[in-house]
Amino acid sequence: MAYSPICQNSHRYDNSFGSLPNYQGTFSRHKCAGCAYELGYFHAINQIPKAKNDSVLATIPYSQAGHVRHKDAFAAYNDGYKFALSLAIAA
């Protein structure tokens, strides 16, 4: 099994992640929802097709701190992707 580091970014304590659904599944369990959001945003602004499943989260760090604790990281990825697209449409 590959080692994933622990996220130390301040987004772990961002209140907006508190509204994500809880997740206690398998593969992406304990992945950082903040990092997942940023990855989705990055994919959208760089016109990378949106991932179809949570395997896209394989390389992002883990986090069980703050508001990202037990949250659905793939939902966060999708939210980041959607938000970036909304900015492009508004521009």
Residue 38 and residue 78: Cα distance in Å, rounded?
10
Residue 73 and residue 51: Cα distance in Å, rounded?
12
pLDDT tens for 59-89 read 999 988 888 888 999 999 999 999 999 997 8
Per-residue DSSP letters for 10-79? GGGG-GGGGGSPB---STTTTB-HHHHHHHHHHHHHTTPPPPSSGGGGTTSPB--SGGGTTB-HHHHHHH
> Is the pLDDT assigned to residue 44 strictly greater than 60?
yes
Q: Which amino acid is it at 85?
A: L
The reply to whether the predicted model has a pTM over 0.75 is yes
